[in-house]
Amino acid sequence: MIDRLENGGYVRRTTDPGDRRKGVVEAVPERVHEVAEVFEPSRRHMATLADRYGSDEIGLLFDLFAHATAAFKAATAEIRAGGE
C-alpha cells in the first residue's frame, strides 16, 4: 500500500533523523487536499452517525476502538503463531 501511495505521489519515504535504520512515511503536503476530498463523504456520513450519540457514549466508543486495536493485534499474533 505504501508503494502505491508513493508511486501516486501522495507520500514520500525518508529516514528517521534519530535512527537512520528506520524509515518514515510522510504525506506530501501538496496532495493532502486531494485525499481529503476523497474521504469527505465518509467524514460527512460518520459525523451524521456520531450526532446520534452523547459525549459520554462517544468517549465509550473511542475507548472500545482503542482497546479493540490491541485485541486484534494480539489475535493476529496468535493466529500467526498457529493458535498457541
Q: Are residues 62 and 77 both part of a single domain? A: yes
39 and 60 co-located in one domain: no
Please write the tens of the pLDDT for every residue from 44-73.
999 999 999 999 999 999 999 999 999 999
Does one domain contain both 11 and 48?
A: yes
One-character DSSP codes across the chain = -HHHHHHTTSEEEEEETTEEEEEEEEE-GGGHHHHHHHHHHHHHHHHHHHTTS-HHHHHHHHHHHHHHHHHHHHHHHHHHTT--
Is the pLDDT at 83 greater than 80, yes or no? no
Q: How many Å apart are CA 29 and CA 39, to the nearest integer?
A: 16
pTM higher than 0.75, yes or no?
no
Is the domain of 13 the same as that of 48?
A: yes
The C-alpha atoms of residue 37 and residue 47 are separated, in whole angstroms, by 15
Q: Domain range for residue 82?
A: 55-84
